[in-house]
A and B are shown apart, each in its own frame.
Chain A
Amino acid sequence: QVTLKESGPALVKPTQTLTVTCTVSGFSLSTSEMRVSWIRQPPGKALEWLARIDWDDDKFYSTSLKTRLTISKDTSKNQVVLSMTNMDPVDTATYYCAARIDSGWYDYWGQGTLVTVSS
């Protein structure tokens, strides 16, 4: 059974760096064709894709946020980590991770973690 769980701070201050972690189970981060993405959703707004990391360590970033984002994975811990620098109140959102574990487009989502940016 594939599951994903996001974790991270509930509150960060402006200008700080956010680090959120996605812990997966039911598959390996080294499995061929595996891809994990981060998506966020500000309160009352639409979904926004942020970044993706593949089984072969290929990485993709949102063009509007790429200067602030870093995605990485720790296969031994079954974790994918997203860092976002210089946080601002407009970055307040629920952050989700989602995974595809084969070459198709069926994906699995975590429950999300709400991050509030406030001083």
Chain B
Amino acid sequence: QSVLTQPPSASGTPGQRVTISCSGSNSNIGGNFVNWYQQLPGTAPKLLIYSSNQRPSGVPDRFSGSKSGTSASLAISGLQSEDEADYYCAAWDDSLNGRVFGGGTKLTVL
């Protein structure tokens, strides 16, 4: 059971906009920044969004992150087949004094 809650799956057709949610509490998302990671099969996680809404250079602006209260969201617009991957959210938890991850969301491009 992960501390951060993500839907196990999401899907969309090419060109669509998809949103993945990440729900936490005051001790993690509510008081700290959120990172999002994309993991393609057989590869290491890749930083997609950091500090809740910042994109590393090289990440397309189709990807955006937001945070409100104790929840965060990753939005992918103009969905492409290469976006098919697992997505994870993460945040520091002040109560646990450690980092916590979501259970991951498997995105399927139909």
Contact = CB atoms under 8 A, between A and B. Distances in A.
B24 interface: no
A34 to B, nearest CB: 16
A112 B39 CA distance: 13
B45 A96 contact: yes
A104 interface: yes
B100 A106 contact: no
Contacts of A108: 47
A111 B104 CA distance: 19
Given A37-B99, A63-B96, A109 B33 contact: no
Interface of B: 2, 33, 35, 37, 44-47, 50-51, 54, 56, 88, 90, 96-104
B97 A60 contact: yes
A8 interface: no
B11 to A, nearest CB: 19
Range, interface on chain A: 20 to 34
A49 B100 contact: yes
A62 B93 CA distance: 11
B101 A61 contact: no
Contact of A47 (B45, B54, B56, B97): B45
Nearest to B2: A46
Interface string A37-68: 10100000011110010000000111100000
B44 A46 contact: no
Contact of A109 (B44, B50, B99, B103): B44
A33 interface: no
